[in-house]
Structure 1
Amino acid sequence: MLGIDALDIATILADAEVIESALHDLMARSQLMPLIQENKNVATLVRNQLDKWKKKVSKTVINVAPSQNLQTELALYQQVIRWQETEFVERSDDLLLQLEPISSFYPKAQRLLSESNAKINPMLPHYFCHQWYQNILGEVKQAQQAALEQEKADQLEDLYQRIDTLQNMDKVDPDINNDSVAGRLWDMSSATLSKADWSVMKEQADFLKKHPKLQDIAQSLGRMAKESLDPEQPKQYAQQIIYQEEVSQHATDDIVGIHESDDLNKLLPNETLFLAYPELEVVFYKHLIDKRLMNYKMQGKARKVRKVAAQQPLPSKADEDTGPFIICVDASGSMAGFPEQCVKAIAFALMQIALAEERDCFVVLFSTDYVTYELTRPDGLREASDFLSYTFHGGTDLAPAITAALTQMEGARYNNADLVILSDFIAPKQSKEMIAHVDALKRNKNRFHAISLSKYANPELMNIFDHHWAYVPTVGQRFVKQK
């Protein structure tokens, strides 16, 4: 062959050090951001994000698609390197014609072939192909470098976007950016939100502070999944190591007397007098064999290691694998006004709990029809803003929304889920088929909760729920809380 086989040249990575250099550049720029300097947890999130980016960008750069001209040039190169030296000389003029419209190597190729005595030089074909290969390699690296720079710019923009979102969330509610939820918020912060979006979330956070009872209800819902143990699963008890002290003569804490023994380390000084006289030396060894040498008697406390069963049971599977929240919100006209503010605030509080407990959170808005939102997906903050901005209107039709929620709960993803319905429950009793459906899902460890925002709720609707809260403050109470 006249040159190096370039069949896989398009997969050559420009240089591992180039990727590492780009990573360090991004790190250095991100360290200048004030939130990272103030918050070590955010700095850790940034490092994790950049580590993922490094793995992703390596594959992206390697798989940069060459231009059409470069693909044609690569195919031509693959043919030429398989020519014999004589064939190369005979077809060199035709090769130049093919290179002219597609390759940046053409000027140098023309110069190499036009030199005096070039075609009678036996090394020319090999040198020509080597120089051609280096040119192709340079073009591939240049394309990869351009792709890397674009990826770096996109990643830096994404970092600024996510950090800006965390800063805005801190203004919405300073308590939400704690260690337990920061990671989930970081994953959800890819969407760009407007001032109006942040304003509507700020409004719900302030409303929750004025009505702490709503926050208490949301926290009660969050605790119930953890307190609901699987009755079919036997309790397990953890083993732990304890240290038990006991009196021992081998511990050298105190001298409590004298006794006969053969321990030379605790020997009384006068016993060594037998060794001072050759004729008495045999007496010393006889006492040693008979364990009759006078020794100090020691006593102290030794610690003995023992394994015992702890009395606190290990967490059951239900504790560890808490499912998502499915929140059905009545968006009918009868809920407009104060009830609408309440249900939006509770849904916002449940979203925060879902973030802290790494649970999914879905909202089903229903009136005569229904629409769904997923609050904990990558653009969940956008979904939350859209839901909180929704204006309630229309009539109440509870059945389609509950049916849609029950259908979701049949999937494996929704095992051990909490279905929460927020409504005034001014609606007819549900069918026997739906009640039977609910009972079947309860046996699959799902829980059903109701939060009523009206004193006129239909009591026959409440029978299907495991727990029921009513929140109907008087007008006077609302006035006091909204001061």
Structure 2
Amino acid sequence: MFNDYFDITGLVSRYQPMIKDNPDLDFAIKQQLSDCTQGLKLELIKSNPYTEIELALLNAELEFDEKAATSVRFKNDIISYQRFISQAQLPSDKKYWLKELTVLDDKVNKLNQQKRKITAIKTKHNHLLTHWRKQYDKAHSKWQLEAIRQFQEKFLSELNDWLEQIKILSEVVESLGLEPGYLLDFSEGKLTLSDVEKLKKWAEYLPNDEGVKSLCEMLGKLRQVTLSDKIETIKKTINMPEMVFDGDSKQEIVGLKLGKDLEHVLPSELALMSDPETSILFDLKYLESSLMCFDMAGISIDHAEQVVEQSIQKEDKKGPMVICIDTSGSMHGSPETIAKALSLYLTTQAKKEQRDCYLINISTSIEILDLSQGYSLSSLLTFLQKSFHGGTDVAPAMRHGINIMKNDAYENADMLIISDFVMSSLPNDCLELVEQQRIKGNRFYSLCIGNAFMTNRLKTHFDSEWVYNPSNSSITELIKFQNDVIDSAIII
């Protein structure tokens, strides 16, 4: 019954190309339809205005079937019925039932036998209950249809708005080269309309700002796939062609043989048939298969399998990512939005490349989100919405991130710190931990958003450091800049 009121065929056909390209979206729509159907059932039960009347009617019908009819019970049911008529705002028939009650009382008083009295009361009572049931079913169905219509309109409107937002968001992420299937992950969570709005806000920074777009392309290439120094020997089966004689193929003369193959008999043997005296000898040789014949054979190419050893170089997989996002007070506004847009891009890229990812939200304290075991997009959005707006202390985040790098799952990981770097210098113990992890193969990168730069001594602690200026969308690589300055000084 309920599915008949939730026909989404027209709505789905409108967004069919987008749904076809994303099976998870199709699943999410069906799940929402299922949830809405269950929600409608509960809503119809919870908001039924006739619940008490229905119980009274059911109780009256039950007592009518199980107990003897009495005038008192008949009068009480008339009162309950009139209460229902008033609540349902149906035309009043109170006068009719009062008249029926008066007629019944007069008739009962005139009857002498108790059995006939009960029969008379039961007849009137049955008439009341039948009419009551008919009126109740009509009123309840009318209310239920209206409730379903309102519920349907609300659901279809919200679903249409949701799909429209997803369509807009899909176009945004596709313009940057991302596959919507990786960004719009509905298989492990649900997105609300407010989630989509926030996601759209961050994602729009990516294609509309050329500087942010360049940052995404640059940061997405951190720790490119490289050839490992480890050489591994493997066994490989190859086909080796070789020439073999084929006796069934009559291509060339390879010798002579005795036989009776007239097609290949020597001319000297055929000459025996030219003389009647020697033709008997030819017949005898033929019977004994002793005629001299050409031996014919062919040459074919056969393929033999051979197992050989071969050395290969294995490709190193891209390591996990540890991303530290500064949400302190100095990052408020555009810098924080850009940082979260970049984090959104990097996390979706990590999922696309099946790289583990670990997020750290930093200020004077830290919040963490481990994305190594899979995640729902809603949980990622909840994390990215958090902002501390306090002071900036990156050291606790770096210490925590380095401890994570010591785990097997985050071996060979990259750490990226996105901040305006309005902070004090890193403590010595933190710098020592960085150097220890760098020796083990970990890499440390930083992205400074804004014009406030740190001191030169801190810049050199990162393998690469970039500065992004939101005012003109310019990107400067600080370490490369320092090297250029040094080279210029040497030339002078």
- How does the TM-score come out when normalised to structure 1? 0.53
Q: Tell me, yes or no, if the aligned pair for 1:364 and 1:371 is still in contact at 8 Å.
A: yes
1:470 maps to which residue?
465
Secondary structure of the residue aligned to 1:427 is coil
Farther off after superposition, 204-213 or 373-382: 373-382
Structure 2 distance, partners of 1:119, 1:242, is: 103
Q: 1:111 to 1:97 in 2, by over 3 A?
A: closer
Q: 1:382 to 1:458 in 2, by over 3 A?
A: same
Does residue 1:28 correspond to 2:10, yes or no?
yes
1:146 maps to which residue?
147
Q: Give the superposition deviation at 1:199.
A: 7.0
Q: Give the superposition deviation at 1:97.
A: 0.7
Q: 1:324 to 1:102 in 2, by over 3 A?
A: farther
Aligned residue identity for 1:190: T
Aligned residue identity for 2:81: L
Structure 1 unpaired stretches of 5+: 1-14, 258-267, 269-296
Q: Give the superposition deviation at 1:220.
A: 1.9
Q: Give the superposition deviation at 1:353.
A: 1.5
Q: Tell me, yes or no, if the aligned pair for 1:57 and 1:148 is still in contact at 8 Å.
A: no
Structure 2 distance, partners of 1:420, 1:341, is: 17
Structure 1 distance, partners of 2:337, 2:47, is: 56
Structure 1 distance, partners of 2:468, 2:357, is: 30
Structure 1 distance, partners of 2:346, 2:201, is: 19
Q: Tell me, yes or no, if the aligned pair for 2:323 and 2:360 is still in contact at 8 Å.
A: yes
Q: Give the superposition deviation at 1:159.
A: 3.1
Q: Give the superposition deviation at 1:422.
A: 2.8
Map 1:83-482 onto structure 2 (within 5 A).
83-85=63-65, 87=67, 89-90=69-70, 91-102=73-84, 104=88, 119=120, 125=126, 128=129, 132=133, 135-136=136-137, 139=140, 142-143=143-144, 146-147=147-148, 149-151=150-152, 153-168=154-169, 170-171=171-172, 174-176=175-177, 178-181=179-182, 183-184=184-185, 190-192=192-194, 201-207=203-209, 212=214, 215-220=217-222, 326-329=323-326, 331=328, 333=330, 346-354=342-350, 356-357=352-353, 362=359, 364-366=361-363, 368=364, 377-378=377-378, 396-402=392-398, 419-423=415-419, 424=421, 427-430=424-427, 432=429, 449-451=444-446, 453=448, 456=455, 458=457, 462=461, 468-471=463-466
After superposition, the C-alpha distances for 1:422-442 in whole angstroms (9 at most, x for unaligned) are 344963444759978999x99
Q: Give the superposition deviation at 1:55.
A: 1.9
Q: Give the superposition deviation at 1:76.
A: 2.2
Structure 2 distance, partners of 1:182, 1:57, is: 25
Match for 1:60 among 22, 25, 39?
39
After superposition, the C-alpha distances for 1:165-210 in whole angstroms (9 at most, x for unaligned) are 4325524761345354353389776335999996775444344557
Q: Give the superposition deviation at 1:132.
A: 2.0
Secondary structure of the residue aligned to 2:83 is coil
1:292 maps to which residue?
none
Q: Give the superposition deviation at 1:380.
A: 6.0
Q: Give the superposition deviation at 1:120.
A: 5.8
Q: 1:419 to 1:309 in 2, by over 3 A?
A: same
Q: 1:339 to 1:133 in 2, by over 3 A?
A: closer
Q: Tell me, yes or no, if the aligned pair for 2:422 and 2:454 is still in contact at 8 Å.
A: no
Structure 2 distance, partners of 1:421, 1:81, is: 74
Aligned residue identity for 2:77: L
Structure 1 distance, partners of 2:411, 2:82, is: 66
Structure 2 unpaired stretches of 5+: 105-115, 253-260, 262-296, 477-492
Q: Give the superposition deviation at 1:218.
A: 3.0
Equivalent pairs, count: 397
Q: Tell me, yes or no, if the aligned pair for 1:328 and 1:421 is still in contact at 8 Å.
A: yes
Q: 1:206 to 1:241 in 2, by over 3 A?
A: farther
Aligned residue identity for 2:133: W
Q: Give the superposition deviation at 1:478.
A: 7.7
Structure 2 distance, partners of 1:127, 1:248, is: 105
Q: In percent, how many aligned pairs have the same letter?
A: 12
Q: Tell me, yes or no, if the aligned pair for 2:414 and 2:445 is still in contact at 8 Å.
A: no
Q: 1:149 to 1:427 in 2, by over 3 A?
A: same
Q: Tell me, yes or no, if the aligned pair for 1:429 and 1:458 is still in contact at 8 Å.
A: no
Q: 1:378 to 1:195 in 2, by over 3 A?
A: closer
Secondary structure of the residue aligned to 1:364 is strand
Q: Give the superposition deviation at 1:215.
A: 2.4
Q: Give the superposition deviation at 1:98.
A: 1.8
Structure 2 distance, partners of 1:131, 1:365, is: 68
Q: 1:54 to 1:161 in 2, by over 3 A?
A: closer
Q: Give the superposition deviation at 1:30.
A: 3.7
- When the two chains are superposed, the root-mean-square deviation of aligned CA atoms in Å is 6.7
Q: Tell me, yes or no, if the aligned pair for 1:241 and 1:308 is still in contact at 8 Å.
A: yes
Secondary structure of the residue aligned to 2:222 is helix
Secondary structure of the residue aligned to 1:216 is helix
After superposition, the C-alpha distances for 1:30-64 in whole angstroms (9 at most, x for unaligned) are 423xxx36546457555333311232123223323
Q: Give the superposition deviation at 1:409.
A: 9.6
2:27 maps to which residue?
48
Q: Tell me, yes or no, if the aligned pair for 1:161 and 1:192 is still in contact at 8 Å.
A: no
Q: Give the superposition deviation at 1:407.
A: 9.6
Q: Give the superposition deviation at 1:94.
A: 1.0
